[in-house]
Amino acid sequence: MGLLSVVCVSLFFSSTFAVDRGNFKTCDQSAFCKRQRALKPGQSPYRALLETLELSDSRLTLQLINDNNKVHLLLELYRLQGNMTRVKINELKPLKPRFEVPDVLIAEPPTEPLSVLSKDDNGVVLSLGAENQRLIVSARPFRLDIMEGPEVLLSLNSRGLLAFEHLRLHKDTLDFSLPGVEHVYGIPEHADDLKLKTTDGGDPYRLYNLDVFQYELYNPMALYGSIPVMLAHNTQRTMGIFWLNAAETWVDISSNTAGKKPQTDVRWISESGIIDVFIMLGPKPSKVFSQYASLTGTQSFPPLASLGYHQCRWNYNDQEDVKSVDQGFDQHDIPYDFIWLDIEHADGKRYFTWDPHKFPQPKEMLQGLMDKRRKMVSIVDPHIRVDSGYKIHNEITSKDFYVKNKDGKNYEGWCWPGNSGYPDFTKPEMRAWWASMFAYDQYEGSMENLFTWNDMNEPSVFNGPEVTMHKDALHGKWEHRDIHNIYGLYVQMATAEGQIQRSGGVERPFVLTRAFFAGSQRYGAVWTGDNAAEWDHLKISIPMCLSLGLVGVSFCGADVGGFFKNPSTELLVRWYQTGAYQPFFRAHAHLDTTRREPWLFGPENTALIREVIRQRYALLPYWYQLFYQAHKTGMPVMRPLWVDYPKDTATFTIDDEFLIGSDLLVHPVTEEGSRGVTAYLPGAEEVWYDVHTFQKHNGAQNLYIPVTLSSIPVFQRGGSIIPRKDRVRRSSTCMENDPYTLYVALSPKKFAEGELYIDDGHSFNYDTKKEFIHRSLTFANNALTSRYLYSSVLYLSIVWHANLLMISQTGKETPVDFEFDTSMSVLTLRKPGMNAGADWTLLLQ
């Protein structure tokens, strides 16, 4: 009866379609946030003891003292390679050790020497090397200023809000001032605008991973993931602040734009841990992305198939249901790559198992998908049913791998299976064991085309405080409060490693996670959680994914159609049109919703959905190339306009349209009954081509675009070359050897450039054996040229260019079969016959 009552309660909550705000704290209800926020700007009690200064090749150390309680702190300053500064503050002699976050940084960041420029009784001036940058340490009160020439770029403790609570649990807070800045972004996950709002008079933004049923929009409450990274941008510079702390954190933002020079002040308040902050000085957006990537890594390079379309619901009932849905896609000529199984597929919600009645022959089911070159994802959550007949539970128990309660016993709470234990993923031995469970001889019924979904990994505890784990639960010597926000990262890390190991290190993994932290981008994809079939939830998916992209997580998407409720036909079509142009493209729905496979809404709507999914598949070469670039450089795949147009102030608050790479601009239709949208086309020197009509438009203008239900405004930047595969088949793998079409959109100077990246689409051979093709494509002086961009082992390609579409203004005779459409200024060259892996030049005379 206990299990029944808890499950019923959880379903009742989900069927009300509204978040219960009473389950989740505000700052006033969080004792440490309320106490720290009560501190007012003013004279800081901390001063620097300059006589304690020690300088080595790699760091400067200096003691601070709180004149009120005489507690000493240790300040460490590091000048890092790549124009970054690291600031660490800890108690010199803590009553007990403070937690320092492991496993997020990919390595200890390399340092560069600091040098003292001057020193007196008031402070010390240090050189930061590049471009006359200096770090000034003021002694009384303690303050840090980073300057470039006469300009202050950033100040720490300028408002005197540094606080370390010595006798209480280890709370800490620090304030930053950003002169000249009024636009700040990042610190996901929140269902809010791209540009962060000031929090004066309301709650701060909260970072605390929580299982939130149908979340509210446009407020700072915590959601499923937390990435404590903020970007500051103006026309002169982009900077970043990375607050490396895994405890519950609140972020206060205030802004003053009244004077001649605006300023944004930011205060970080964390419940425990130390102050460990990285200041990324840019100055360009791309530089900030590479700086952050050098610290926490880049987006994992996903298998090509995972960039296709995913079909999911809670739940596909049984093997026959899966087979029927799979056949439905073929019958309606709609491509897809992955079908998903939610919690009901497992035997009594015992993960790593199959329900023997509903899924008695999982390998037969998987083989049927494999025969069509398709794949499956099954859910594996980190709460383990407490059941003496369950192998996974017994092994975790015998190895003593469960999280403990404060009394040292196994921590137990309620989740989908009923009474559950929670593996301690902070232990490397636990993660290694978990990874081993994905081996084919351990995960019975699994095959190489089965991948994984980690849900509920905040962790979700239905009967816990705020629907999560008690803060005094123990992970070895550390309390859960210290590590809470990295628990989900560890789950995804171990799962991804399990997929890699099962293939002998050959195949790339695909793992979707709901909870995440800084560094999660290294392990797979993220989605925006339990949204609803409402127009506002469709709109908010854009800034939510843009925010994640700015802080390293490019592989983001939202449940197409909305998880809760039933979408209208118009909303469903518009959501497919939006989702097809977001990085992770999956439809998903709640157990209580009506079925919504793409062909269930009448022939006309089926055709509209089919068309936009086919658009997605045609653009897979471009998506794949962008993910390769993200993996190599840290550049976001889906990005705000200001990233590519950093001096255009009109772009700074736009979050209803976005760029895919630098060359596609998308303005989804997100208003019910819309007959037109206004898109901003950036770049005074740019031209943009409607990808559907090839009509040319000048940049630096607001363009009104009439729309019908079949419309999704997408534009290609003049001066770009985009590879496509216009021969769309049932799955991406079926298109592997199909020809490419190059869409060449000329700039006003009759120039265009682009890239083409090809590898096997699924293995690590691109890295371990350098088996790939990476071509530079250039159109100039009436010649289209393909050359090697990077040296590599030539990946054997039998893929040929089938067409070259020249989007131009005048037509020329050519020595190959061509067609020139004067109404659209499009020159089509038919089957020029060039190999995608060879050097060639095509002259247009």
Query: Is 530 among the catalytic positions?
Result: yes
Q: Which of 172, 337, 381, 455 is catalytic?
A: 455
Tokens, residue 624? 């794949």
Please report, for residues 644, 648, 774, the alpha-carbon distance to residue 180 in angstroms, rounded to integers and kept in the order given. Answer: 20, 16, 41
Q: Which residues contact 792 (CB under 8 A, 6 or more apart)?
A: 770, 771, 772, 773, 774
For 196-230, give the DSSP string: PPP-TTSPPEEE-----SSPPSSS----S----EE
Give 807: exposed, middle or buried? Use CB within 10 Å, 0-12, 13-18, 19+: buried
Residue that is written with structure tokens 């509920």 in the block: 456
Cα separation, 463 vs 460, whole angstroms? 9
> Is 455 in the active site?
yes
Tokens linked to 420: 């559950």
Q: Are strands 450-454 and 375-379 parallel, antiparallel or unpaired?
A: parallel
Distance CA 6, CA 416 (A): 9
CB-side exposure of 696: number of CA atoms within 13 Å?
Answer: 19
* Alpha carbon distance 49, 117 (integer Å): 18
Rounded distance between C-alpha atoms, residue 280 and residue 528, angstroms: 27
Using CB atoms within 10 Å of the CB of residue 35, give its burial: 0 to 12 exposed, 13 to 18 middle, 19+ buried. Answer: middle
CA dihedral angle for residue 591, residue 596, residue 597, residue 600, rounded to 10 degrees = 140
CB-CB contact of 469 with 403 (8 Å) = yes
Q: Which two tokens stand for residue 763?
A: 């293995």
Helix (H/G/I), strand (E/B), else coil: 103: coil
Locate 194 and state its tokens.
């791209």
Catalytic-role residue among 276, 530, 648, 759: 530
Rounded Cα distance between 157 and 362, Å, is: 59
- The residues that are catalytic are 455, 530
